[in-house]
Chains A and B, each alone.
Chain A
Amino acid sequence: MAGSSLTSEQRQRYARHLALTEIGPAGQQRLMRARVLVVGVGALGSPVALYLAAAGVGTLGLADHDRVRLSNLQRQVIHSMEGLDQSKVDGAARTVSALNPDVTVETFAETVNAHNAMELLGAFDVIVDGTDSFAARYLLSDAAYLLRKPLVHGSIFRIEGQVTVFIPGRGCYRCLYPEPPPPGAIEESEQVGVLAALPGIVGTIQAAETIKLITGVGDGLVNRVLLHDTMAMTFHEVRYRRNRACPVCGDRPTVHQLADDAVRGVGVAR
């Protein structure tokens, strides 16, 4: 695709991408045509949305039911005091539009659940998981597989973080974690500490993986999960495969639609 279809302002804005062999004008056009849904506009969603907007992703869907709280501002750098007590998606949309007016933002100020997930995810090319609960992770993984959409997973807990990419047919969150956490397991929440920049490390790697999926370049974190310990500042990779017995993406799947309880049959207490 010719670079001439970019405006002169776009050629300036994306000059560093146009100079990259792996992106160039054709890759930039792919980014500008892409539709990415970021579920959860908090610690992880902040850097994901900022860097995807900066990269020129054409349409960013932002889904989060929450409002901005003061305690969010310690790490959720897409928000500011101006957005306090207001919807996170609206605050994030303002920051994204100010950074790059080329980006079309679609906001969903709602919880993603079994009733709306298929319709919501179905309208996008790539899904990014910026949520903070096991239930939401299983739900997004199931929905993304059933829709055959790639899912960029990231999560943090205390001083650790992880990133992996689920490509339909090559493994899902249930293949990686077939055993759900025990009932009453501690999840990422207001009661769990986090150092400001850890979600930045995890979220920016998620953004990079998303850009690679859209442009079709590089080696994605597929069938491997990157594990990061931020206090030790170490990075390890663990390989995993599709589980042939996976109830969702295995050889004889038993789950064909989303159920009310996202972790149905696997008993996670919420």
Chain B
Amino acid sequence: MNDARHHRQRILAEVGEAGQQRLERASVAIVGLGGLGSPVALYLAAAGVGRLGLIDDQPVERSNLNRQILFEEGDLGHPKVDAAARRLRALDSSLRLDARQENVRASNVEAVVAEYDLVVDGTDSFETKFLLNDAAVLLHKPLVHGAVLQWGGQVTTVLPDEPCLRCLFGGPPDPDDIQTCEEAGIIGSATGVIGSVMAEEALKVLLKAGTPLSGRIFQHDGLAGESRVTSFPRDPDCPVCSPRALITDLARYEEQVSPRGQVLV
């Protein structure tokens, strides 16, 4: 491949020639091309991840542009997946990009997750976040989870046989307790911090380098200027990743989990 482009990564001991080749052979599904997906897609493309699945069913809107740096004014009204593919090709035309203009749901999650080496969750709905967690656990795929609101957010990395999102939270919060970005607001730089950490985590997992945020959660409060990492254990009664799992089969997901992400069985 192109030696000069990724020179600075090749000479990093933690990457090296073998690591760079590993990235070039790797595939990542980026679910959600919004505030988080923007830096994730840009940095994974820049790093030389060979194949990116770009998954989003939305068009670019003007209210996206305070934080979604993957897009520009000229993209307004166009599907995000197409605009994203254009921008990433302008950065590196050799990348393989799958523009999938769809939403991830119980009925298609397996097809999406199974096709890639790693999944990055850049979505903005808790139901989808738990769906991706459950699919990643059941399909033994690494997942990088991130979420943002207002000035801050969180990141954790779910690796096969390690603690998952349900070990930490059980299930999604009560809908009455959820504030959306539309209601509560969000500053672009917060999505940038969280998305950049997510991209770095994805690269580390693909490279098998460093210590990912597995069993640890990074929490960032940009307003206070505080960043902390806290450990959490595996839940022996976790509804999806423990021996007593209640969520067992993606084909029967809608019988086992409510549309709101709560365990039914």
* Contact status B203-A51, CB under 8 Å: no
Which residues of the partner chain B approach A205 to less than 8 Å between Cβ atoms? Answer: 189, 193, 222
B192–A74 touching, CB < 8 Å:
no
B interface residues, tally (CB under 8 Å): 74
CB distance from B9 to the nearest CB of A (A): 6
Partner of A195, one of B12, B67, B151, B227: B12
Rounded to whole Å, the gap between the CB of A233 and the closest CB of chain B is: 5
Q: Which of B43, B65, B66, B92 contacts A200 (CB 8 A)?
A: B43
Closest residue of A by beta carbon distance from B62? A12
Q: Is the CB of A231 within 8 A of B62?
A: no
Contact A208 B183 (CB under 8 A): no
Chain B residue contacts of A99, Cβ below 8 A = 65, 69, 71-73
Contacts of A77 in B (CB 8 A): 39, 42-43, 46, 91
Residues of B within 8 A of A226 (CB): 225, 227
Q: CB within 8 A of B223: which of A75, A76, A158, A212?
A: A212
Interface string of A65-93 (1 = CB under 8 A from B): 00001110111110111100000000000
Query: Which listed residue, A9, A73, A207, touches B192 by the CB 8 Å rule?
Result: A207
Pairwise interchain contact A211-B4, C-beta atoms closer than 8 A: no
Would you call B233 an interface residue if the criterion is a C-beta within 8 Å of the partner chain's C-beta atoms?
Answer: no
Q: Does A209 contact B (CB under 8 A)?
A: yes
* Also in contact, A218 and B46, with CB within 8 A (given A54-B65, A197-B199): no
Given contacts A74-B6, A99-B69, contact A23 B185 (CB under 8 A): yes
**Cα A106 to Cα B69 with chains together (Å):** 20
**Considering the complex, which residues of chain B in the window 22-49 have a beta carbon less than 8 Å from any beta carbon of chain A?**
39, 42-44, 46-48
Is A235 interfacial (CB-CB < 8 Å)? yes
B227: min CB distance to chain A, Å: 4
Q: Does B265 contact A (CB under 8 A)?
A: no
A26 at the interface (CB under 8 A from B): no
Q: Give the chain B neighbours of A228 by CB distance below 8 A.
A: 227
In the complex, how many angstroms separate the beta carbon of A48 from the nearest chain B beta carbon?
A: 9
Does any Cβ of A come within 8 Å of B8's Cβ? yes
Report if A233-B11 is in contact (Cβ < 8 Å); known contacts: A18-B185, A55-B189.
no
A179 neighbours in B (Cβ, 8 Å): none
B196 & A200 in contact (Cβ 8 Å cutoff): yes
Q: How far apart are B204's CB and chain A's nearest CB, in angstroms?
A: 7
Question: How far is B87's CA from A256's CA once the two chains are assembled, in angstroms?
Answer: 47
Beyond A195-B9, A200-B196, A208-B193, whether A16 also contacts B151 by CB under 8 A is: no
Known: A13-B65, A74-B9, A195-B15. 5 other contacts (CB 8 A): A22-B223, A73-B91, A80-B87, A159-B14, A193-B8
Give 3 closest A-B pairs by Cβ, nearest first: A193-B12, A231-B210, A204-B192
